[in-house]
Amino acid sequence: MARFPGRSWAPSDPGANGSASTTRSTGTAAGSSPGGRPHGRHQHTRTARPAPVRVRSVAGQVFALQVVVVLLLVVAAVVALVVQSRNDAQQEATNRSVAVAQTYANSPGIVEALRSPDPTAILQPSAQAARVNAGVDFIVVLNNDGIRYTHPNPARIGQKFVGDYQPALQGQVVTEQVTGTIGPLVQAVVPVRAPDGQVVGMVSAGITIANVSSASERQLPVVLGAAAVALALATGGTALISRRLQRQTRGLGPAEMTRMYEHHAAVLHAVREGVLIVGGDGRLLLCNDEARRLLDLPADAEGRPLAELGLEPAPLELLADGRVVTDEVVLAGERLLAVNVRPTDRDGGPPGSVATLRDSTELLALTGRAEVAQRRLRLLYDAGVTVGSTLDVTRTAEELAQVTVGRFADVVTVDLAEQVLEGDEPPSGPALLRMRRAALATVRGDAPFYPVGTVVEVVPSTPLAGALDSGLPGVEPRLAEAQAWRAQDPEGAARALAYGVHSLVRVPLKARGVLLGVVRFWRTEREEPFEDDDLALAEELVSHAAVCIDNARRYTREHAMAVTLQHSLLPRNLPAQNALEVAHRYLPAQAGVGGDWFDVIPLPGARVAMVVGDVVGHGLHAAATMGRLRTAIHNFSTLDLPPDELLGHLDELVNRIDQEESALVGAAAAVTGATCLYLIYDPVSRRCTLASAGHPPPALVRPDGSVVFPELPTGPPLGLAVLPFETVELEVEEGSRLVLYTDGLVEDRERDIDEGLELLRAALTGPARTPEQTCADVLGALLPARPQDDIALLVARTRVLPAERVARWEVPSDPAAVAGVRAAVAERLERWGLDEVAFVTELILSELVTNAIRYGTGPIRVRLLLDRALICEVSDGSSTSPHLKYAATTDEGGRGLFLVAQFADRWGTRYTSTGKVIWTEQPLE
C-alpha cells in the first residue's frame, strides 16, 4: 500500500493524485501546504535541507507588521487624547463659568445693589474679588438692557454687553463659546432673581480655554512611554518567534522528516477507526488497515472508483455523496458502522472527502442495556416524585398504579386491607386474607379485572397467600404454563389469559414491619415476560409506595381522631328559640382540623346570643382550646354579661391558658391568640348588641336585599388585649339576616380579605332567601377548591316579638301597689289564655315586686313576655342582687325567693346600666 507523507488527515493538493513531487521551497509551492507539510504519494526520502530564514521571510514580515500596528495604535491614542483634552477643556470652562455666574448671582446683597442708585460702586469691588478667587477671566454684572455695571477693564463699564443675553431675561442659563480680545473663551449668562421671582439683572462669567488644563494632556507622556515599551516588547517577541519558526520548520534534516512521516503512517494504521480519503473524482486515495477490515476492501482498492469496490449500498452512498455526516450508523454486512464524513476542499484544499468508520455493533448492545437502565431510573425518579403527593391512602395507591402502567406493566392492581383504608392498624396473620381493591390502572379500558372497591378474598395455599404470609415478592414469567395462581380465581384467570395476560409480578406492600396489602403487575401488550431485573425494580417501586401508604394511613387515623374530637366539641343541634331563624355550616380544612367554632345561646328575656370564633393554629391543640373557650362562653353567658365584659373575661381565660401551657410544655405549644365575635339580639326592642375581638365584621342583609358591614371597633385578638373591648348597638329591621363567619370563608392564599368581603357582599345581595339557601349560595360563591382553613358560617333571620305579647307596668314604691299589679297581670294572662298559670305568676310577681319596693330603689317596672315560655321581669334602680337562702323555722321572712325558685322553671338576675332585672321563666306546657 502506498503511504502519504505528512499528517494523514491533512487535505492534499491537486498534485496528490499519485505522482511524486520532490520540490520544496519556503513559500506555498505545489505539493506542500502553507505549513510546509507535503501531500501526495511519496516513496523516496528527501535529501534537500530547507533554506535558512531570510530577513524578508514571514517572520520578518510579521515583525514589520507588528511594528506598524504598534505605531498606529500610539498615533491613534495621541490623537484621541488631544481631541479629548480639547473637549474636556471646553466642558470644564463651561461648567466653571456657569458655576461662578450662578454663585455670584445668588450672593447676598446683589439684588439690593442692582436696585441702588450706583450699582457699579457696590458691585465692582466684589466682582473683581470674586473673579480673582474663582480663577475666571471676568465677572460682569448687567442690567436688563445688557449694560455692564462691572468689568475687569473699568473703561468698558457702561457699554453694551457683547453676546447673547436675551434668554437670561426669561430665566434661562446661556452659555456660548466666543473669540474675544483675550482669545477663545466660554462665557455664561445667568439671571438674577428678586425674592418675588422677577429677573432684576444678569451676571456673566467667562474663562479662556487656554486657562483650563485637561487631565488627558497630563497622560500624554505616559502614553508615549507605554508605546515605547510596547514597541520594545513587540520587537523582542517577534525575534523569539522568528527563531522558533526557524527551529521548527527549517532545522529538520531529510532523515528526521522521513522518520516523522513514517511515525504518522504507523499511527494511521494502528488506530481502531477506519480512515478513508476519497478524491473529487470518486476514487479511493487512501485507506488504513481498519477500514479494509470493516469494509472488506480488496488489496488494490486504492486508486479505484468506489463503485468498483463491492461496498454495501448504505456506506457506498455516504462515501460517494461527500456530504457532511456525523455518527450516522449504517449496516455493512453483519456490522453496524458509525460513519463521519468531512470535505477536504475547505480553506482552499483539494476536492474530496475524508471519512472515519467505527464498529459500533457491541456498543449498540451496550447502549440498549444502558437505555433500559436509564428508563428504569427515570421510572423510579418519577415514582418518587409522584407517589405520596397527598396524605390520602386511596390516592397514593392510585398514583402508584398510574405511574407504572404503560411504562412497566400493562395492568396494575393495588389491594389493601380494609383496616388500612380506614386508617386503622392492619390485622396480622390470616385476617389479611380479606382485602379491598384500592386502585386499578390499565392500558386499555376493557381489561377483565375486578373494579375498585371489590372485596378480594385470598384463597389459602395459593401463591398470593404465600407471598402475603412470607412477605416475599414473586414472579410468574409465563402464566399460561403456570397452574397454581389460577386457584385464586379460576374464572378470572381464564378471562385474563383469554385477554392476553401472559406475565405477572406480585409484591407485598410492607412498611415498618406491617403488611398493608399487595401490588400485582400484569403484562398483556408487551411480548417480553417479566424477569428478575423487573422483580427488583418492582420491589423498589412498591417499597416506596408502602411507606407513603403507611404515612397516609397514620395521618388518616390522626385526622379522624382530631375531626371526631372537634365535632364532639361543636354544637350538634342548635337550641330552640323564637328570636332567630338560624342555619349554619361548618367545613374543616383539608390540611387538618382547626379551632373555628360557632354557637347559638338562648338568653333570658327572649334574647339570643350568637358567637363565632377562631383559635390560631391547627391540630388537636387548637381543637381542645376551642372546646375550652366555647365552654367558657356558655358559662359566662349564664351570668348575662354584656358582650364587652364577656370578651374581657374570655381574654383573661386565654391568657391563663397560655401561661399554663407555656409552663408545662414550653412556649412552642402556647396559645398565641384567638378571635371572637359575640352578638346579642333582643326581639322585643329589635336591638343588636355586639363586640369583636379581632374577628371580621358581620354582614347585615336588610329586607330590601342591600348588604352592609357594620362599622364596629375591632379589638385585638383574645390573649393579646391591653385595652377594654367596646360594644356597638344596632337597630335591626324584622326579616333582616345576620351573617357571621370566620376568616377562612373570605381569605386564603389567593385572595385578600377585602376581595373576599366584596365576593361575600355580591353573594348576599339580592332577593330575600331563607337562611339555609343563603348558606348554600355563600359557600357556592366563596368556597375554595381546597380550603386551607376551617370555615364556620352562621346565618340568622331576625324575628320580632309582637307587641300584643308584651306587657309593661310602672310600679310606685308603695307596698299597696302590689295588689294592683297582681290584678293587671291576672287580666293580661286571661287575655292570653293562660288562666292556669295565673295563680303562680301572681305569687311570683308579688314576691319580686315586694322585694323591689322594700330593698330596691325606683323606678320599679314589671314586664311580661309571652314567648316559648312565660317570662316575668321586675326591674329597679338598685344593683343589689337577692340571694336564695333557707329560712329557719322561727324566721318571719326569707322564704320569698325560695318560693319563686320552686314555682319557676328558671330564674336569675341581669344587671343593666340603670340597675338590675330579676327574671323568671314558667313553662307553658
**Domains present along the chain, CATH in parentheses:** 1-47+252-261 (no CATH), 51-246 (3.30.450.20), 271-359 (3.30.450.20), 373-559 (3.30.450.40), 573-798 (3.60.40.10), 804-923 (3.30.565.10)
Question: What confidence score (pLDDT) does residue 267 get?
Answer: 75
pLDDT at residue 894 tops 70: no
- The cell for 682 is 333582643
The sheet with strand 514-523 has its strands ordered as 455-457, 434-442, 411-417, 514-523, 503-511, 474-476
661 φ, ψ (degrees, to nearest 5): -65, -40
Phi/psi-derived region of residue 595, left when phi > 0, alpha when psi is between -120 and 50, beta in every other case = alpha
Indicate whether 718 pLDDT > 70: yes
* Cα gap 523→491, rounded to integer Å: 19
pLDDT at 208: 84
DSSP state of 357: E
pLDDT digits (tens, 9 = 90+) for 270-325: 777 888 888 888 888 888 888 888 888 888 888 888 888 888 888 888 888 878 88
CA 379 to chain centre: 27
Q: How confident is the model at residue 344 (pLDDT cuts 50, 70, 90)?
A: confident
More confident residue, 514 or 669: 514
Determine which of 444-448, 654-658, 666-670 has the lowest per-residue pLDDT on average.
666-670
Compute, in degrees rounded to 10, the torsion defined by CA atoms 447, 449, 451, 452.
Answer: -110
Neighbours of 167 (CB within 10 A): 12
φ, ψ at 54 (rounded to 5°)? -90, 175
Query: How does DSSP assign 434-450, residue by residue?
Result: EEEEEEEEESSTT--SP
Residue 218: all three cell numbers together = 497630563
Q: Grid coordinates in use for 707?
A: 348588604
Q: Show the cell assigned to 728.
A: 356597638
Q: What is the mean predicted confidence (pLDDT) over 869-898?
A: 71
Asked whether residue 60 carries a pLDDT value surpassing 80, the answer given is no
Identify which of 660, 638, 640, 636 has the alpha carbon closest to the alpha carbon of residue 650: 636
pLDDT at 38: 38
All cell numbers assigned to 70: 504598534
- C-alpha dist (Å) from residue 724 to 230, 448, 563, 730: 85, 71, 34, 20
pLDDT band for 9, please (50, 70, 90 cuts).
very low
399 class by beta-carbon count within 10 Å (0-12 exposed, 13-18 middle, 19+ buried): buried
Rounded alpha-carbon distances, angstroms, from residue 714 to 247, 300, 557, 676, 778: 94, 103, 39, 10, 24
Specify the higher pLDDT residue, 271 or 759: 759
Measure the CA–CA gap between 283 and 12, rounded to whole angstroms. 14
Q: Tens of pLDDT along 785-822?
A: 777 788 899 999 999 999 999 999 998 888 888 888 88
What pLDDT does residue 3 have? 39
Model confidence at 571: pLDDT above 90 = no
- Predicted pLDDT at 238: 67
Taking residues 865-890, report their average pLDDT.
78
In a 10 Å sphere around its CB, with 0-12 CB exposed, 13-18 middle and 19+ buried, how is residue 370 labelled? exposed
The rounded distance, in Å, linking the Cα atoms of 100 and 87 is 20
The pLDDT value given to residue 747: 85
Give the model's pLDDT for residue 242: 59
The number of residues making up the chain comes to 925
State residue 477's pLDDT score: 92
Task: State the DSSP string of 630-644.
Answer: HHHHHHHHHTT--HH
Residue 645: predicted pLDDT: 92
SS3 850: helix
3-state secondary structure 33-94: CCCCCECCCCCCCCCCCCCCCCCCCHHHHHHHHHHHHHHHHHHHHHHHHHHHHHHHHHHHHH
- DSSP secondary structure of 288-342: -HHHHHHHT--TT-TTSBGGGS---HHHHHHHHH---EEEEEEEETTEEEEEEEE
Q: Which three cell numbers stand for residue 155?
A: 473703561
Amino acid of residue 857: T
How high is the pLDDT of residue 218? 61
Mean pLDDT across the chain, nearest whole number? 81
Q: What CA–CA distance (Å, rounded) separates 919 from 844?
A: 10
In which band, very low, low, confident or very high, does the pLDDT at 87 lie, cut at 50, 70 and 90?
confident
